[in-house]
Amino acid sequence: MFVSTTSCSVTKRPISSLYFAEQASEAAATPSPEMVALSESISSKLGMELSYPENDLGLYAFVADWLRTPYRFGGMSRRGTDCSGFVYRLYETVYETNIGRQSSADLMSQTARVSRDDLKEGDLVFFNIRNRRGGRASHVGVYLEDGKFAHATTRSGVIISHLSEPYYRRTYLGAGRVKK
């Protein structure tokens, strides 16, 4: 999603750039009108009720910018991405953390296990969608809140799904928190 800003001209910028620019200058405990407006814009785009500072707006701004990015095996850009490429770029941009460009199974092995009841924004959720032997992860997404997670699918590209959907409930392997 792009937000237009005006002065003498109109400039289109990704909403995540507005978040990161505002966050860098944010010093007060009270959210600025810009952050409140940004929270409302992201909420509308994602169809989720978000509030700042309770929610990690950087995470949601990134997801909003990448929503509907097409699937491309091995990709990790807005022109096309696969699930682990999406997660890699998200962590690089939002958390300034290099988790390495690796498979879902490798990512799962490098995270600290988290129970479903203890999931937090930014945790990784893993699935065995290819029915691999030994329960190896073949798909990864990023947890948002209230059972929702963002991920890149072969059919729809980057979308938001719910852990309670029958397909994801059946293929869910577990969750992990990136070790920092």
> Whole-model pTM?
0.81
Q: What is the pLDDT of residues 56-99, one digit of tens each?
A: 889 999 999 999 999 999 999 999 999 999 999 999 999 999 99
Q: Determine how many CB atoms are found less than 10 A away from the CB of residue 101.
A: 15
Q: Determine how many CB atoms are found less than 10 A away from the CB of residue 108.
A: 23
- Residues annotated catalytic, as ranges: 83, 139, 151
State which residues form the domain around 124: 68-180
Contacts of 180 (CB under 8 A, 6+ apart): 97
Same domain, yes or no: 91 and 111: yes
Same domain, yes or no: 89 and 159: yes
Asked if residue 121 is part of any domain, the answer here is yes
Q: pLDDT at residue 51 above 80?
A: no
Residue 177 CB-density burial (10 A; 0-12 exposed, 13-18 middle, 19+ buried): middle
pLDDT for 98 equals: 95
Contacts of 13 (CB under 8 A, 6+ apart): 2, 3, 5
Average pLDDT over residues 21-25: 48
Same domain, yes or no: 73 and 83: yes
